[in-house]
Every structure is written in structure tokens, then in C-alpha cells.
């Protein structure tokens, strides 16, 4: 005889063992529900952390970087509650490669111990310098100096020694061993904030703390600052201002010390006077707020859905559990004993299911993030898993309590019998049908008596359909938006040169700005992978008018030109006539000066000439509205293409509050749109025809953009290249393409450009490869192209990388939405299956009875299938109806508020899901009915 003591654990384990199959299925159900919810949440939060981590690696963990920090009193700033913490990098040199010149170099600094953390300096490979003679470089710093040194190899640099904000006049040659490659920060900060090297010296080279400064030098300090409190962008902005004011008080504002106050939280102040506007800060805050709201909503929905899933999985054998409880009570078990048995059982189940599901979620998310490439780093957010785990345990325990509470409310015998259903039936009144289809009638009565189940299923189906409808529409919209800027080139990169300083004449290039000469183009063309290199040049060009200017030109000038003096008070203007009268009252000072002194008193319009490769120009042949493109004549400078709308209108719309207006020139070549019609003040037709001759004057000066201040009206050395040129063709518009510019401009070939501005450098270059790009080729190409753009703060566009990023983003979106839909799908399927399975189990006797009175297997299946169809019918009807209603509501709401609404009415995925769901449920139902049919009728009928 077994003399082992009967404990609660043994009873619970006995229960579990006796119903191994049932409990395994239940655990699988719970695990699935938890995997999806914890997986999606884990993924979302890990991805957010990943973005955050990449942001920190790119810009640092500090709130601000302060250059020349030796002038700043940090203790006072802490006392004034401006900063919480700071840490210092000690710049003891400025190193550069003699061959690439001084501009390619960088500050070299050793870091205080806590500066590593605050600046978030990260290693791509190798290690940090530990002893004198060791050095680590940001990868970009190596590229700029065109050094191909590997870790462990030696580097010789020319080093200037700082003496606070200046340098000692003598340089020294120093040799170091490269021990580490760091994540790029300097180039990221430069490009993000559009800074140039001379404006902001971030130490891109790291030395060991043992390194000593040259004799006579004085360290220049770079401080990484943590602002007081964890504050929003606005507060940070105000702290930046306060720090600057404090420095101003101490007379440091004009000093270089102010140069680089760079809060990486995207508020920027520098000598260049560039900063993000308040609007931009608000937008960023709004984005963060929206993302947080979205994450919270998503989390809540997922937790609720998984909660329903868990409760449902647990309740699949609810009736049987009630019977068990009733029997235990009948043999004298107290409520406490029953709570213990079932509570322990639930605990054992949740202890099996929770770690398993969390483990699967963890590895699934790790795999997915790994698969998504370099843009994502796997940073596990443990608290998400812990929250999901706790939630799962609570759900299981709560689900276990439900039958207990219900069974406790009735007598043991009532609990053994399905008293709930009988009670419910007792109060029902139905009218007898004299003629009926038995399977259908039984099905409809079942549905009538089990309305709660119907509502539950409908609710989950409605949620699945709506989430799927909007989710997939959102993804499709995103994918379309991302792919709408299709480029036919593999790489593009641009120089920082251009027609800066004035929009009437061209400034001197090449001072602090890089540009791409013909030789750069040929160098790139000689690379083994490269098939073609196309370039674009842009220069300012003025059209000089003989006599009166046309209405068309006047309208264009009113908006684009720099002809008129903007002397009106915007809020006093209420009508278009008032606006025209006020605006055109006087011409501006610079315009009049150029008109009188350069163009002999004639009117002019400042436009641009853009030049392209001949093959690119041929591409626009199909958009020519007048004349014909003749490449030879463009090359020879005899002809030019005019790119201007055929008909324009000035759109003037007064604000409703009577304070001002919005206005601008719009293209109405294809007619005036209904929305614009009430606001069109004036229209004009293009007066030029193909064959007309225009006077073009290209002005240039050696003045640099830095020297171009408000005091300079006409530079002393202004040179004019005046040409009379025939308009060969007119192009009214070109469908959106990143390469073309739309306005009143001229187009020609690169050779043709030489006739207007000789040896003008390229502004942009477009590269196509001989073969499809691979990861290796892309790495090599990016490395090579970086050498041409490094230092000017521009990034290289790589179609390969861009496509990868697009693909990754789309994959991430698909994973999220599919996971959410699958979660709802599984929950819906499990609710339907469980309820029908439970019903079949409960109706075992009824099945036997029906078989005994002559119902065949087909008729029985038909009855259950009818119930299934009805559940789907209601749920899907309500789901698609509600989705359509919301979609229409959103469509009209967007239309009435002039907001864009790009979401397509997308139901095929939802329909497909419903069909799949129906199929799954049908197969399950069929197998369950078939299983019952395998038993003999007597086995069906027999009481427990």
C-alpha cells in the first residue's frame, strides 16, 4: 500500500499528470499568448533602446559639449543649478597627416575616467589607449587623413601643441601605435548640426592619460556637461542660453570658448548662429509624446489580448474543473483546501509557461534584431520581460480562480452537473417550430443560449480586422512613401560649395569648402566597379530684360525674386491688390544697385543655370512643351533649355482671423484646381517661346561666403559674362525626381555650362555601378567616396544602404504588425475553438441522443459548422462594418480639415486572415466531431 502522505502538491501534481495532454495544450496556449505579447513589447522597447544606444554612440551621452572649457567655472554652474555633472577631455595636441594637410586633422585628447561614460566614447574594434605612445582614432578621422593603418600598426602625425585657444608656432612629428578604432562622433555632430571643422573641434583622436603635453603648451579642455535635472528640450535650450549669458557676463562671448556649445539633444548654438527653432523643438517633443502614447496603447492592447488568450486557454476545460471541484467538495474538502490544490496547480502551470515563453521571446527578438542589420543593436530591456512574466502569472492565477469562485457559489452536486447552463435554459422562452431543419435549428438555439461567447468572439474578430486593416494600410503607405523617391543611380554625393552668399552672383569657391573638379570625376570613373559618373553644376545667372518686364516675370519676382523691398506690414494686408500695391511700391537696395551699376539701369531676374550630363538632358525630351532639345547646340552654348511652367497664378489666401495672409506662385498649366480657385489673385502665361533669345548675365566674384556680409552690396571685383542665347526648348514640368529642380530656371549640358561659367566645379555627382552592388562593394565604395566628402560635413547617399534601411524598416514594421495580428488571430482562434470544443465535450450526450434518433455525422458537423459560420458572420460583419465606418470617418475628417489621408481602404489581408481563421476552426471542429463519432452512441450517451 502506498503510504506516501497526501499533500496539496501531490494532489496538484496528480491532477496535472492525470490530464497531461489537456494541460500540455493549455500550457502551449498560455505560452503562445505570452510569446506574442512579450515578444512584441520586448522588440518595441529593445528597438527604442537600440535607437537610443546608436544615438548615444553617434552623439554622446552628455547634454552639451563645451569647447575651451578652461574658461568656464563649473562649480558656479553647479551652484546655480545649471549643471549636475561634467567631465573633461584634455586636448594636448592637434594631429594631422602632412600629405592631406592641416584641415584633415583633429584634436587629440586624453579623457578623465568619468568622461568615457559621459561622452559615451565607444570602440568599434581594439581597445582604448592605456599607455603613452598609444592612440585610438574615430574611423572617419582616419579616412579624412587617408590613412589605411590597421590596429597594431604605427602612425606618424604632425602635431600642433595647443596653448589654450591658440597653438604653439612649432610643430613636432610624433609616432603612435594604433590600438583602437572609435565610433564616429565628430562627423556626426558636424553633419547633424551643419558645422564645419573650424567652427567646432571635437577630439576625434584619443590618447592615453599617461601622454604628456609638449613643453610650453597648455591643455585645451573639452567639457562634456550633464544639465541639471533630466529636462525637456525647452529647458535644455534655456540652460544653454543661461550658460551663454553667464559667459557673456564674463566677457567670453566673443571668445572662441563659446564656439562649440553642442547639446546633442539637438538644440544647437554656435558662432555660426545656427540653431533649431522653437517650432522644431516642439515638433520633436510632439514626436516623442506620440511615440510614447503609441507604445503605451500598443502595450495595453497586447497585454489585454494576451490576458484574454491566457484566461481562455485556462478555461478550455472549465466545466471539467467545476466538476472536479464539486466532487472534492462532495467528499468533504474545505474551500481553503480546494483553493490550495487549484492555486498550486495554477502556480505550477505558470512556472512552466512563463519562463519558457520569456525565453522564446528573448531569443526570437535577438534573432530578429540580429537579422535587421547594423542599424539595430540588441539591447535587452529586462524590465519588459519581468512585467510580461508577472502579468502572465497574475493572469493564470486569476483564470484559475474563476471556476473556483463559480463552483463555490453552488452546491457540490450542482457544481458536478452543468447547473449554469440548465439554470439559464430554465428561464428561456422559445416558440416551437413546426417545420425545421434540425441541424440549423439546434445551431441557432445554441447561439441564442450562448450569447456571451458570441459577443466575445465578435469583439476579438472586430479588433483583429481593424488592427489588420489599418496596420497593413499603414505599412503599405510607409513602403510606398519610402519607395516614391526612386533613384536610378547607385551613389550620390554633394560638395558643400555652391552659390552661397548671394543669389545674384557666384562667390569664390574652395575656401573651407570642398568641391568636385573634373579630375575628381575622372578618378571616380576609373574605379573598377564604376560604370558611369554624372555630375551636376549650378550657377547663378540673371536674365536681363530690354524694356518692360512681363506680368509672368513680375509674378515670379514677387515670390522668388529679390527684386522688391519687403516693406509692408503683413498683418495690415487683406486683399491681393493691397499686397501687390505694397510689395511692388519700391525695389530693394541691392537690386537697384545691380540694375544701375551692372546692368545699365535694366530690370533683371536672378535665376539659376543647372547643367547635367547629355544623357540626363535627353531623358527630359518627353517633357518638352515647345521646341526641341539639341545637345550639340547646348554643348556649344548656342542654345539653352528654359524650365518654367506655361501658366502661373498668384495664390493669395487671407487668414481667417484677418491678421495677414499666405501667398505664393503656383503652377496652373493644367488648369486651376477647385481648392485654389477662390484665392487666385492674378494669372500669367509664359511669354517666352522656343527660338526666343534671352540676355543672360553670369556674375562672379572672388569674395568668399564668409566675407559676404550685409555691408557688401556689389563686390569690387565683380565680373560679368553676358551672353545672348536662344531658348532651344521649353520644359513646363518634370515629374518628381530628386535630380531636377522646378522654378524659372535654365538647363544645359555640363559642356554648355562652360560657356556661362568656365571650369565650374561639380556640386553633385551621381554614380552607377557596372554590376549589382554587394555589401563588400558598398563598404569599399563608401570608404573611397568618404575621402572626397570628409571634412565638409556631407553624407554620401548609397542606394544599397538606403534600400537596406528601407527594407529593415519595412521588415520591422511588418514584424510588429504581423505579430499583433497573429496574437489577435490566435486569441480569436483559441476562443472559438475552445468554446466549440468545450461545447462538443459538454454536448457529448446530446450528440449521442441525436445519433440515436437518426442524425448522421454530416448533419451533426453541419450543425456545429453552422454555429461557427454564424459566429464568424457576426464578428466579421461587425469588424468590416466598423473598419469601413472608421475609414470613411477619417477620410472625410481629413478632407474637411485639408489634412492628407493616405491610408488605402485595405481589407484583403483582414479577409484572408478571417478565411484562414475559419479554416483553422473548421478543421479543429471537424476533427472534434469526428472524434466523438468514433465513440459508439452508447459511449456518447453514458453519464460520467
Partner 1 sequence: MNIIECVDLRKEYLSGENIVNAVDGITVAFEQGEFCAITGPSGSGKSTLLHVLSSLENPTSGDVIYNGKKLSGYNDNQLSVLRRRRFGFVFQAYNLVQELTGYENIVLPVMLDKKKVDEAYINKVIDVLGIGDRLEHLPSALSGGQQQRIAIARALANKPSILFADEPTGNLDGKSGREVLSLLKYVSKEFGITLILVTHDLNVAEQAERIISIEDGKIVRDTKAGV
11: contact with partner 1 by CB under 8 A: no
382-409 and 335-371 helices, crossing angle to 10°: 150
Rounded Cα–Cα distance for residues 670 and 325 (Å): 79
Q: Distance (Å, rounded) from C-alpha 36 to C-alpha 487?
A: 38
Q: Is 371 in the site for partner 1 (CB under 8 A)?
A: no
Residues 367, 371, 436, 885: which binds partner 1 (CB under 8 A)?
A: 436
Least separation in angstroms between CB 469 and partner 1: 35
| Beta-bridge partner residues of 768 | 532
In the bound complex, what is the minimum distance in angstroms from residue 857's beta carbon to partner 1? 6
Residue 708 near partner 1 by CB under 8 A: no
In this structure, what DSSP letter does residue 806 have?
H
Q: Pick from 278, 856, 902, 905: which binds partner 1 (CB under 8 A)?
A: 856
Residue selected from 851, 872, 876, 928 as contacting partner 1 according to rule CB under 8 A: 851
Applying CB under 8 A, the span of 367-375, 762-770, 846-854, 909-917 interacting with partner 1 comes to: 846-854
**572 C-beta neighbours (distance < 10 Å), count:** 10
Q: Which is nearer to partner 1, 85 or 846 (CB)?
A: 846
Residue 425: CB minimum distance to partner 1, A:
4
Question: Would you say 425 or 525 has its CB closer to partner 1?
Answer: 425
Q: How far apart are CA 110 and CA 203, in angstroms?
A: 9
User: Nearest approach, Cβ of 871 to partner 1 (angstroms)?
Assistant: 16
The reply to whether 438 sits near partner 1 by the rule CB under 8 A is: yes
Opening angle at CA 422, ends 421 and 425, nearest 5: 85
**Binding partner 1 by CB under 8 A: which of 5, 17, 215, 426?**
426
CB 135 within 8 A of CB 179: yes
CB 12 within 8 Å of CB 349: no
Stretch that binds partner 1, among 138-146, 236-244, 498-506, 935-943 (CB under 8 A): 935-943
Phi, psi of 167 (to 5 degrees): -125, 155
Is residue 58 within 8 Å of residue 139, measured between CB atoms? no
Nearer to partner 1, 377 or 857 (CB): 857
Q: CB nearer to partner 1: give 482 or 857.
A: 857
Residue 502 or residue 843: which is nearer to partner 1 going by CB? 843
Among 164, 437, 532, 704, which residue sits at the site for partner 1 (rule: CB under 8 A)? Answer: 437
User: Binder to partner 1 among 850, 871, 876, 917 (CB under 8 A)?
Assistant: 850
Closest listed residue to residue 224, CA positions, set 202, 255, 191:
202
Query: Considering the complex, what minimum distance in angstroms separates the CB of residue 436 from partner 1?
Result: 6
> Please, are residues 705 and 501 in contact by the beta-carbon 8 Å criterion?
yes
Read off the DSSP letter of residue 677.
G
Question: What grid cell was written down for 125?
Answer: 574594434
Name the CA dihedral angle for 229, 235, 241, 243, rounded to a multiple of 10 degrees: 0
Question: Can you tell me the distance from the alpha carbon of 433 to that of 641, in angstroms, rounded to the nearest whole number?
Answer: 85
Does residue 838 touch partner 1 according to CB under 8 A?
A: no
- Minimum distance, C-beta of residue 941 to partner 1, in the bound complex (Å): 6
Residue pointed to by grid coordinates 603648451:
217
In whole angstroms, the minimum distance from the beta carbon of 318 to partner 1 comes to 18
Residue in 394, 430, 593, 916 binding partner 1, rule: CB under 8 A: 430
- Can residue 853 be called a binding residue for partner 1 (CB under 8 A)? yes
Decide: is 943 part of the binding site for partner 1 (CB under 8 A).
Answer: yes
Helices (H), 60-138: 74-79, 115-119
In the bound complex, what is the minimum distance in angstroms from residue 441's beta carbon to partner 1?
7
Q: Could you give the CA distance from residue 263 to residue 241 in angstroms, rounded to a whole number?
A: 11
CB atoms within 10 A of CB 416: 19
Nearer to partner 1, 277 or 432 (CB): 432
Q: State whether the Cα torsion 372-377-381-382 is positive or negative.
A: positive
Backbone φ/ψ region at 613: left (φ over 0), alpha (ψ -120 to 50), beta:
beta
CB 817 within 8 A of CB 471: yes
For partner 1, which is the closer residue by CB, 575 or 856?
856
The CB-of-393 to partner 1 minimum distance in angstroms stands at 38
Task: Rule CB under 8 A: say whether 434 interacts with partner 1.
Answer: yes
- The residues in 439-458 that bind partner 1, with binding defined as CB under 8 A, are 441-442, 445-446, 449
Smallest distance from the beta carbon of 845 to partner 1, in angstroms? 6
Determine the interface stretch with partner 1 among 64-72, 830-838, 882-890, 932-940 (rule: CB under 8 A): 932-940
Q: What's the gap between Cα 759 and its chain centre?
A: 40
**Are 297 and 41 contacting, i.e. CB atoms less than 8 angstroms apart?**
no
Residues 105 and 95 sit within 8 Å (Cβ to Cβ): yes
Q: Is 859 in the site for partner 1 (CB under 8 A)?
A: yes
Contact between 844 and partner 1 per CB under 8 A: no
State yes or no: residue 903 binds partner 1 (CB under 8 A).
no
Terminal-residue alpha carbon distance, the chain:
28
Question: Measured from the CB atom, is 346 or 419 closer to partner 1?
Answer: 419
Question: Contacting partner 1 (CB under 8 A), which of 169, 279, 336, 432?
Answer: 432
Q: Least separation, in Å, of the C-beta of 1 and partner 1?
A: 19
944 binds partner 1 (CB under 8 A): no
381 strand-pairing partners: none
Choices 423-431, 469-477, 495-503, 825-833 (CB under 8 A): range interacting with partner 1: 423-431
CA distance 71 to 252: 8
Q: Which stretch binds partner 1 (CB under 8 A): 208-216, 428-436, 478-486, 615-623?
A: 428-436
Q: Are 129 and 136 in contact (CB under 8 A)?
A: yes
Query: Residue 799 or 866: which CB sits closer to partner 1?
Result: 866
Closest to partner 1 by CB, 451 vs 589, is: 451
Q: State which of residues 289, 845, 895, 931 lies at the interface with partner 1 (CB under 8 A).
A: 845
Among 3, 4, 21, 431, binds partner 1 (CB under 8 A): 431
Rounded Cα distance, 861 and 865, in Å: 6
934 binds partner 1 (CB under 8 A): no
Number of residues that bind partner 1 (CB under 8 A): 39
| Footprint (CB under 8 A) of partner 1, residues 259-298 | none
Q: 809 in helix, strand or coil?
A: helix
Asked if 836 and 917 count as a contact pair (C-beta separation under 8 A), the reply is no
The Cα diameter of the chain in Å comes to 122
Instruction: Give Cβ neighbours of residue 562 (< 8 Å, ≥ 6 apart).
Output: 503, 504, 588, 590, 591, 606
C-alpha cell at 454: 458570441
Enclosing H/E stretch for 89: strand 83-96
Order of strands, edge to edge, in the sheet holding 680-685? 661-667, 647-654, 680-685
Contact 896, 481 (CB under 8 A): no
Is residue 841 involved in binding partner 1 (CB under 8 A)? no
Nearer to partner 1, 428 or 622 (CB): 428
Task: Candidates 7, 280, 422, 774: give the one binding partner 1 (CB under 8 A).
Answer: 422
Question: Quick check: 414 binds partner 1 (CB under 8 A)?
Answer: no
Minimum CB separation of residue 850 from partner 1 in Å reads 7
Task: List the one residue from 100, 196, 630, 849 that touches partner 1 (CB under 8 A).
Answer: 849
Stretch that binds partner 1, among 154-162, 420-428, 789-797, 913-921 (CB under 8 A): 420-428
Residues that bind partner 1 (CB under 8 A): 421-422, 425-426, 428, 430-438, 441-442, 445-446, 449, 845-846, 848-859, 933, 936-938, 941, 943
Amino acid at each position: 500500500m502506498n503510504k506516501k502522505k497526501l499533500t496539496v502538491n501531490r494532489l496538484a501534481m496528480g491532477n496535472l499528470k492525470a490530464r497531461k495532454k489537456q494541460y500540455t495544450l493549455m500550457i502551449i496556449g498560455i505560452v503562445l499568448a505570452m510569446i506574442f505579447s512579450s515578444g512584441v513589447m520586448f522588440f518595441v522597447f529593445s528597438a527604442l533602446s537600440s535607437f537610443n544606444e546608436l544615438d548615444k554612440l553617434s552623439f554622446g551621452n552628455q547634454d552639451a559639449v563645451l569647447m575651451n572649457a578652461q574658461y568656464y567655472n563649473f562649480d558656479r554652474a553647479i551652484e546655480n543649478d545649471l549643471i549636475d555633472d561634467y567631465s573633461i577631455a584634455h586636448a594636448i595636441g592637434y594631429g594631422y597627416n602632412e600629405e592631406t594637410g592641416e584641415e584633415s586633422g583633429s584634436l587629440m585628447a586624453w579623457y578623465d575616467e568619468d568622461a568615457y561614460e559621459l561622452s559615451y566614447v565607444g570602440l568599434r574594434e581594439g581597445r582604448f589607449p592605456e599607455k603613452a605612445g598609444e592612440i585610438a582614432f574615430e574611423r572617419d578621422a582616419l579616412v579624412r587623413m587617408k590613412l589605411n593603418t590597421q590596429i597594431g600598426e604605427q602612425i606618424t602625425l604632425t602635431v600642433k601643441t595647443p596653448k589654450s585657444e591658440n597653438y604653439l608656432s612649432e610643430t613636432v612629428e610624433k609616432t603612435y601605435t594604433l590600438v583602437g578604432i572609435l565610433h564616429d562622433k565628430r562627423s556626426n555632430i558636424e553633419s547633424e548640426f551643419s558645422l564645419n571643422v573650424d567652427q567646432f573641434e571635437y577630439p576625434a583622436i584619443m590618447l592615453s592619460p599617461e601622454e604628456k603635453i609638449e613643453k610650453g603648451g597648455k591643455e585645451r579642455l573639452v567639457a562634456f556637461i550633464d544639465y541639471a535635472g533630466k529636462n525637456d528640450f525647452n529647458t535644455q535650450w534655456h540652460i544653454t542660453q543661461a550658460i551663454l549669458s553667464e559667459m557673456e557676463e564674463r566677457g567670453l562671448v566673443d571668445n572662441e570658448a563659446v564656439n562649440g556649445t553642442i547639446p546633442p539633444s539637438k538644440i544647437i548654438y554656435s558662432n555660426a548662429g545656427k540653431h533649431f527653432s522653437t517650432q522644431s523643438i516642439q515638433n520633436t517633443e510632439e514626436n516623442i509624446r506620440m511615440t510614447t502614447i503609441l507604445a503605451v496603447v500598443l502595450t495595453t492592447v497586447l497585454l489585454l489580448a494576451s490576458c484574454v488568450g491566457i484566461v481562455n486557454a485556462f478555461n478550455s476545460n472549465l466545466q471539467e474543473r467545476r466538476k472536479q471541484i464539486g466532487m472534492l467538495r462532495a467528499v468533504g474538502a474545505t474551500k481553503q483546501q480546494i483553493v490550495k490544490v487549484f492555486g498550486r496547480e495554477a502556480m505550477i502551470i505558470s512556472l512552466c509557461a512563463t519562463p519558457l515563453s520569456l525565453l522564446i521571446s528573448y531569443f526570437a527578438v535577438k534573432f530578429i534584431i540580429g537579422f535587421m542589420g547594423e542599424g539595430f543593436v540588441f539591447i535587452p530591456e529586462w524590465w519588459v520581460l519581468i512585467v510580461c512574466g508577472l502579468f502572465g502569472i497574475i493572469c493564470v492565477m486569476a483564470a484559475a480562480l474563476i471556476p473556483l469562485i463559480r463552483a463555490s457559489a453552488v452546491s457540490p452536486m450542482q457544481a458536478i452537473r452543468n447547473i449554469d447552463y440548465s439554470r439559464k435554459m430554465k428561464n428561456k422562452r422559445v416558440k416551437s417550430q413546426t417545420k425545421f431543419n434540425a441541424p440549423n435549428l439546434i445551431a441557432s438555439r445554441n447561439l441564442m443560449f450562448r450569447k456571451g461567447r458570441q459577443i466575445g468572439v465578435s469583439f476579438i474578430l472586430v479588433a483583429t480586422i481593424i488592427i489588420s486593416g489599418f496596420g497593413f494600410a499603414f505599412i503599405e503607405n510607409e513602403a510606398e512613401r519610402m519607395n516614391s523617391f526612386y533613384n536610378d543611380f547607385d551613389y550620390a554625393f554633394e560638395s558643400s560649395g555652391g552659390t552661397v552668399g548671394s543669389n545674384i552672383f557666384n562667390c569664390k569657391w574652395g575656401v573651407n569648402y570642398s568641391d568636385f573638379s573634373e579630375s575628381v570625376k575622372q578618378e571616380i570613373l576609373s574605379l573598377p566597379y564604376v560604370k558611369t559618373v554624372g555630375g551636376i553644376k549650378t550657377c547663378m545667372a540673371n536674365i536681363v530684360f530690354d524694356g518692360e518686364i512681363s506680368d509672368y516675370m513680375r509674378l515670379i519676382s514677387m515670390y522668388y525674386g529679390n527684386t522688391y523691398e519687403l516693406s509692408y506690414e503683413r498683418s495690415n494686408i487683406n486683399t491681393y491688390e493691397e499686397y501687390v500695391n505694397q510689395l511692388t511700391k519700391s525695389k530693394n537696395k541691392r537690386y537697384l544697385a545691380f540694375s544701375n551699376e551692372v546692368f545699365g539701369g535694366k530690370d533683371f531676374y536672378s535665376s539659376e543655370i543647372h547643367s547635367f550630363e547629355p544623357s540626363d538632358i535627353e531623358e527630359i525630351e518627353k517633357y518638352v512643351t515647345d521646341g526641341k532639345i539639341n545637345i550639340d547646340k547646348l554643348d556649344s552654348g548656342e542654345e539653352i533649355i528654359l524650365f518654367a511652367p506655361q501658366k502661373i497664378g498668384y495664390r493669395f489666401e487671407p487668414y481667417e482671423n484677418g491678421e495677414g495672409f499666405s501667398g505664393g506662385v503656383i503652377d496652373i498649366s493644367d488648369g486651376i484646381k477647385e481648392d485654389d480657385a477662390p484665392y487666385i489673385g492674378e494669372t500669367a502665361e509664359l511669354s517666352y517661346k522656343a527660338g526666343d533669345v534671352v540676355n543672360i548675365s553670369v556674375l562672379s566674384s572672388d569674395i568668399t561666403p564668409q566675407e559676404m556680409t550685409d555691408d557688401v552690396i556689389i563686390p569690387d571685383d565683380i565680373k560679368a559674362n553676358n551672353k545672348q542665347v536662344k531658348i532651344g526648348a521649353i520644359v513646363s514640368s518634370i515629374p518628381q525626381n530628386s535630380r531636377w529642380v522646378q522654378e524659372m530656371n535654365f538647363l544645359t549640358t555640363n559642356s554648355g555650362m562652360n560657356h556661362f561659367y568656365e571650369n565650374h566645379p561639380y556640386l553633385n555627382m551621381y554614380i552607377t555601378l557596372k554590376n549589382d552592388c554587394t555589401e563588400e562593394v558598398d563598404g569599399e565604395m563608401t570608404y573611397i567616396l568618404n575621402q572626397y566628402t570628409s571634412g565638409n560635413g556631407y553624407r554620401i547617399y548609397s542606394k544599397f544602404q538606403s534600400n537596406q534601411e528601407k527594407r529593415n524598416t519595412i521588415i520591422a514594421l511588418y514584424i510588429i504588425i504581423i505579430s499583433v495580428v497573429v496574437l489577435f488571430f490566435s486569441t480569436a482562434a483559441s476562443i472559438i475553438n475552445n468554446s466549440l470544443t468545450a461545447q462538443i465535450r459538454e454536448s457529448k450526450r446530446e450528440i449521442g441522443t441525436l445519433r440515436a434518433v437518426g442524425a448522421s455525422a454530416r448533419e451533426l458537423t453541419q450543425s456545429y459548422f453552422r454555429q461557427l459560420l454564424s459566429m464568424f458572420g457576426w464578428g466579421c460583419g461587425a469588424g468590416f462594418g466598423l473598419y469601413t465606418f472608421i475609414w470613411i470617418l477619417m477620410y472625410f475628417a481629413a478632407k474637411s480639415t485639408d489634412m492628407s489621408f493616405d491610408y488605402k481602404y485595405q481589407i484583403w489581408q483582414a479577409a484572408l486572415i478571417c478565411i484562414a481563421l475559419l479554416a483553422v476552426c473548421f478543421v479543429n471542429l471537424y476533427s472534434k466531431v469526428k472524434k466523438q463519432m468514433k465513440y459508439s452512441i452508447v459511449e456518447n450517451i453514458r453519464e460520467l
